[in-house]
Amino acid sequence: MKRLIAVSGGVDSVVLLDSVLRHGQDEVAVAHFDHGIRAESAADARFVAGLACRYKVPYFAKREELGPAASEDTARQRRYQFLFDVAARWGGCVTTAHHQDDVIETIALNLRRGTRWRGLAAMGDQRIERPLLEWTKQDIYDYALRHRLEWVEDATNQSNAYLRNQLRRQLQARLTDQQRAALGRLWRQQWRLRQEIDQEIMQLSPRLSSRYFWTHIPIEPARELLHREVQRLTGVSLLSAQLDRLLIAIKTGRAGTVWQPAASVRVKLSVKSVTIKRVTR
């Protein structure tokens, strides 16, 4: 298997890289995306380049000047666009260092944003391999110390300017080990359910451009179908309120109406059909 490992230079991705190379037979390359958000990001890029050289694996890097005002969502979207582009050229699978603590934080963040049950099935993108999902953050530190690995610390992880950091501190203070384990089990159950639902939705895909279809199914299945179809066609995951407004528009809107439920999503209605497209700038 060919793995394109996303390495930021932090302890999570350094441990992932070392563990894959130490225990696996996979062909590995390293990818690093410099957002240009932090002053020290260039030093991080040099550190990761040094890692790739030390491990004797191919290295792909890109720098953009997103600036300190860039949102977390913007930075994440640009990073994954880079990773998928490189993976397509190199021929490997994008592999990231997300772990059990990340899953719990993402569930909390998603539920706060209003993503409904799918927020419990976080990290369901099947294009991405995540070998460390059963590891806790402490497992990762233990591995790094045991093998005397070096890594860089991202100062923004301590900043209260980011909602994820605020949630992380709250979860660390309030959740017991038993509660974390229970959330992990819940996540696995919801993830499997999501895969089953997505398989069923794929069978309905040929009918999803028909307005007649949308007006004759119950609201809850319609919401799930619309969520998946928008995500499939645009890569955007709409929030519950956005889905509800769009579904009403599809059911009742006039022919010729154009809706834009999110910045990157455009939906055009005709008498009989619904056309969903990604808006490119």
**Model confidence pLDDT, tens digit, residues 65-86:** 766 666 777 778 888 999 999 9
Whether the model clears a pTM of 0.85, i.e. scores above it, the answer is no
Query: Which of the residue ranges 51-60, 199-208, 265-274 has the most confident prediction, judged by mean pLDDT?
Result: 51-60
Q: What letters, b where the CB count within 10 A reaches 16 and e where it falls short, cover 147-173?
A: eebebbebeeeeeeeeeebebbeebee
**102, 180 contact by CB (below 8 A):** no
**How does the average pLDDT of the chain come out, rounded?**
83
Q: Which domains does the chain have, with CATH numbers?
A: 2-174 (3.40.50.620), 208-278 (no CATH)
Report whether pLDDT(161) > 70: no
Angle between helices 240-252 and 219-234 (to 10 degrees): 100
CA distances to 111, 123, 161 from 167, in Å: 12, 17, 11
Q: What's the pLDDT at 77?
A: 82
**Rounded-to-integer distance, Cα 129 and Cα 86, Å:** 15
**Model confidence pLDDT, tens digit, residues 100-129:** 888 887 777 776 666 665 656 566 677 889
Residue 148 pLDDT grade (very low, low, confident, very high; cuts 50, 70, 90): very high
Report whether pLDDT(30) > 90: yes
DSSP for 95-162, please give it. E----HHHHHHHHHHHHHHT-GGGGGG-S--TTEE-TTTT--HHHHHHHHHHTT------GGGG-TTS
Report whether pLDDT(271) > 70: yes
Q: What is the mean pLDDT of residues 8-15?
A: 95
**Stretch among 50-54, 144-148, 179-183 having the lowest mean pLDDT:** 179-183
Adjacency order of strands within the sheet including 2-6: 59-63, 27-34, 2-6, 93-95, 128-129
| C-alpha gyration radius of the chain | 21
Residue 182 pLDDT grade (very low, low, confident, very high; cuts 50, 70, 90): confident
Tokens representing 269?
């209605």
Q: What's the pLDDT at 114?
A: 62
**Rounded-to-integer distance, Cα 127 and Cα 141, Å:** 27
**Rounded-to-integer distance, Cα 68 and Cα 256, Å:** 40
**Model confidence pLDDT, tens digit, residues 213-254:** 888 888 888 888 888 888 888 888 888 888 899 999 998 999
Q: What's the pLDDT at 107?
A: 76
Q: What's the pLDDT at 236?
A: 83
